[in-house]
Amino acid sequence: MSRALLGAGLAVALAGCVSTVGKVVTAPVKAGSKAADWMTTSQDEADRERGREIRHQEEAARKACRKQGRDDC
């Protein structure tokens, strides 16, 4: 009976270890994935940035036009 109890306790302990080992093993992969995501720019982010840049350029051109006193800005 005590061997059965010991075996059951060992099985429960190992089940917890396997879960922990799985997390430890996948942690570097997840961290590397996050780092790659932070270092790269998605197409959507690039499009937003480009749109922002174009709007700033257009606004600067309108301000320069108004500064010259033109009405067709």
**How many helices (H) and strands (E) are present in the chain, helices listed first?**
2, 0
Q: Distance between CA 49 and CA 54 in Å, rounded?
A: 9
Count of the separate structural domains present in the chain: 2
Nearest to 11 by CA among 3, 26, 24: 3
Residue 43 pLDDT: 92
What is the domain extent for residue 56? 41-73
Per-residue burial over 50-66, b = 16 or more CB atoms within 10 Å of its CB, e = otherwise: eeeeeeeeeeeeeeeee
One domain for residues 6 and 35: yes
One domain for residues 33 and 46: no
pLDDT in tens, 2-58: 666 556 665 666 566 656 656 666 777 677 777 777 788 899 999 999 999 999 999
Higher-confidence residue of 73 and 61: namely: 61
